[in-house]
Amino acid sequence: MRKAAFIFIFLIQSTGLFASEHTLVIKDATDNRAVTGAVVFLNLPSGKTNVYLPDYKGRVTMSLHDTEKSVVEIKCIGYISQTLTSLTSGEQTIHLHRSEITLDQVAITSTYTPVPVMQSAYTVKIIDKEQISSMAAVNAADVLGKQLNMRTGYDQAFGSTLTMQGLDMNNIKVLIDGVPVIGRMNGNIDLSQLNTSNVERIEVVEGPMSTSYGTDAIAGVINIITKPQNIRKNSASATAYYESIGTYNADVSAQAALNKINLKLSAGRNLFQGWNLTDDRRVYEWKPKTQYYGSAMISAVFGKVKLNYQLNLFDEKITDKGPVTITPFSAYAYDSYYKTLRHSQVISYDYYADEKNKITGHVSYSSYNRRKEVYFKDMVALQQTELTTPEFRDTTTFAAWNVRSTWNHINDSRKINFQTGIDINLENGNGKRLDRNRYVDDYAVFASAEYTGIKNLLIRPGLRYSYNTMYKTPLLPSVNVKYDITSAMAVRASYSKGFRAPGLKELYLDFVDINHNIQGNPDIQPESSDNYQLSLNHRYKTGKLQLESEIKGFYNKVSNLITLAQYSDTSNLYTYINVGHYTATGAEWTETVTYGNWSLSGGVAYTGNSSQYAEGSNNPEWYTQVNGALGWQWPAVGVNVNAYYKYNGAMPVFVVDDAEQESILRSEAYQVMDIIAGKSFWKERFTLSAGVKNLFNVSTIRQMSTGQVHGSSSSSSSVLPGRLYCIKLQLSL
């Protein structure tokens, strides 16, 4: 027995002669904080590579069997990589120096690995949290409405609308952390339901992304990124926001790092009391709205795997009070309430097989429920009774599973890298407006490769194949080419094939109320498109001066575009039809100048749309957009001032009636300007912002139509609730 014990102790001690433990503590050279987003690669003499992910303190512990020949590489986006060739047992602190490419200039949407924007095969527009904060933006619609070649609108029944590169939101894929957002009403995702309180950044990729993301991505992809890149310490924050039109918002969040587990909780409420432009009538032009939202995130590191679970909840109530009817014996009104519930659960993962291979993906379940309730209100007795007959009650429900996984192979020493993956979408919907329970499933595989065998040239071809339970889907090819003229100048060219299957609403919608009569059409065909883009990007930096320029042109040709058409001249009934050909052509120029504490940016976009329903062709209808932003910072006292300007030219919309005659609805041009100033206190823990939005007091615009059948007519549409003043308080601990 003693002999066995002696042998056991000897083996343990002798193992220590050949193996030792080495701990690296990875910190930021600027502020000495832990860099938890780094990846450590241990290259052993045998040729095997071990991967280590730091804990919340930036610590990595490795067992080394041959300290003299092992090589350690430390990589992290936004930092200069380090290589260690000599290691000894014990603890060693490594300070990573930030590269000139900062984190908010790194793109992750549809890339193999996070890369600087200038290195991406795509032209990516990034709106970081600092920009979002300087706008005092409440939701995604506030942010995107200020961008060039993007235009937001508002519908009292369906919420916010958006157009991008001349195409409406039916053709724009909206993602939150890479997960598709469901619940389209009349083709629109209501961006006013996507709050920015927990948003890190928004990435916009313009042009068809159907090869990577499938249907609904003909015009491009908007990826709203909420996951924190790193949780470095325990913290908490609270925000209060007020607008003079009766908006009262508040939210809180807290995050903690517990060994290998990170936890983040957030919750908030947005309250809008309603707004009338002229008087205090009971019927509001801008309906009262209350939103509650919350999220919980748990992330952990297990060996080579990063796991993340996220739960998101959203509850909205819109109050639509009707006019009072007075008779000799009574006074009454009909009040409607629109209630929306959103819910999503996501499990995402990153698996680092080795230095060259990484697998990422997620499994998500999302649900959307919109319910309409109508009450009869006795204005004399001050009592109300819910009307429960079918013509007054309406519930629409959507649910979707999304499974997406990609294998990314990246070898810096080779000329070819590649990505392959699967994308499964299972969606169903039911409700009175959908006639009955409906579903559509889509199973897809996709792949792309990046070839860099020619100096300064990157070629990225891609291909997607999918099986759709309702429609035959074509192969979707794409090719992106980037040529670096210099290290600071690049030209990009691309061709993409797009595809969009009709949504459940377009096929089976049955929506009738006092303002709408829209019917689905189960006979409509899918859309397909061809897109061409060409852009030139240039950056110049000398001393305190930095210039960024971009010139871009695009051409979108859509076949079988799905649009609403008037059913007859004497009815307000509309249904969905296919337009033969629809084109969107445009060019834009943007310029950003930064000098010291000053920044100035601006751009001009010129877009032309044409539609061909019957024989013959229409000349393009052109419109202009102009935007600009001026910012000034005084870091010594924590003061910043920002002004944002946007001009939206008269935009055309094509309408087709049942007689196959086209008319053009053109909205009046208008301009908007916001000015926001901020001041930080208490070592930047407390921030006060205040300003004016819609300085020019725009409220309604005219919409004029000139058609071959109906003649000329005009109407007005509410776009903004007039000039308002806002104040925002934020506390961070």
When comparing pLDDT for 265 and 15, which is higher? 265
Q: Do the bridges between strand 71-75 and strand 82-84 make them parallel or antiparallel, or are there none, so unpaired?
A: antiparallel
The number of domains in the chain is 3
pLDDT confidence bin for 7, thresholds 50/70/90: very low
* Distance of alpha carbon 229 from alpha carbon 211, whole angstroms: 27
Q: What is the pLDDT of residue 516?
A: 58
Same domain, 81 and 153: no
Q: Is pLDDT at 315 greater than 90 in this prediction?
A: yes
Q: Is pLDDT at 10 greater than 50 in this prediction?
A: no
Q: Do the bridges between strand 172-176 and strand 220-225 make them parallel or antiparallel, or are there none, so unpaired?
A: parallel
Q: What is the pTM of this model?
A: 0.86
Same domain, 701 and 561: yes
pLDDT confidence bin for 14, thresholds 50/70/90: very low
Contact by Cβ (8 Å): 570, 181: no
* Distance of alpha carbon 603 from alpha carbon 124, whole angstroms: 16
Same domain, 342 and 369: yes
Q: Is pLDDT at 472 greater than 50 in this prediction?
A: yes
Most confident of 119-123, 361-365, 439-443, 544-548: 361-365
Structure tokens at 196: 């920015």
Instruction: State which residues form the domain around 139.
Output: 103-224
Task: Please report which residue ranges of 43-169 form alpha helices under DSSP H.
Answer: 129-134, 140-144
- Residues shown for the chain: 733
Q: What is the pLDDT of residue 678?
A: 93
Q: What is the pLDDT of residue 631?
A: 94
Q: What is the pLDDT of residue 655?
A: 62
How does pLDDT run across 132-165, given as a tens digit for each residue?
Answer: 999 999 999 999 999 998 888 877 666 788 888 8
Plot region of 543 (φ>0 → left; ψ -120 to 50 → alpha; else → beta): left
CATH number at residue 165: 2.170.130.10
Q: Is pLDDT at 350 greater than 60 in this prediction?
A: yes
Structure tokens at 601: 């940016």
Same domain, 70 and 180: no
When comparing pLDDT for 714 and 191, which is higher? 191
pLDDT confidence bin for 657, thresholds 50/70/90: low
Same domain, 672 and 606: yes
Q: What is the pLDDT of residue 354?
A: 81
pLDDT confidence bin for 8, thresholds 50/70/90: very low
Q: What is the pLDDT of residue 88?
A: 66
Task: Please report which residue ranges of 95-181 form alpha helices under DSSP H.
Answer: 129-134, 140-144
- Specify if 10 maps to a domain: no
* Distance of alpha carbon 494 from alpha carbon 500, whole angstroms: 19
- Specify if 206 maps to a domain: yes
Average pLDDT on 341-346 reads 95
Contact by Cβ (8 Å): 268, 282: no
Query: Mean pLDDT, the chain, as a whole number?
Result: 83
CATH number at residue 28: 2.60.40.10
How does pLDDT run across 194-247, given as a tens digit for each residue?
Answer: 999 888 889 999 888 889 998 888 888 999 998 765 555 688 999 999 999 999
- Specify if 3 maps to a domain: no
Same domain, 516 and 391: yes
Q: Which residues pair with 312 in a beta bridge?
A: 295, 344
pLDDT confidence bin for 570, thresholds 50/70/90: very low
- Specify if 11 maps to a domain: no
Q: What is the pLDDT of residue 50?
A: 77
CATH number at residue 234: 2.40.170.20
- Specify if 305 maps to a domain: yes
- Torsions phi, psi for 97 (to 5 deg): -95, 135
Q: What is the pLDDT of residue 614?
A: 46
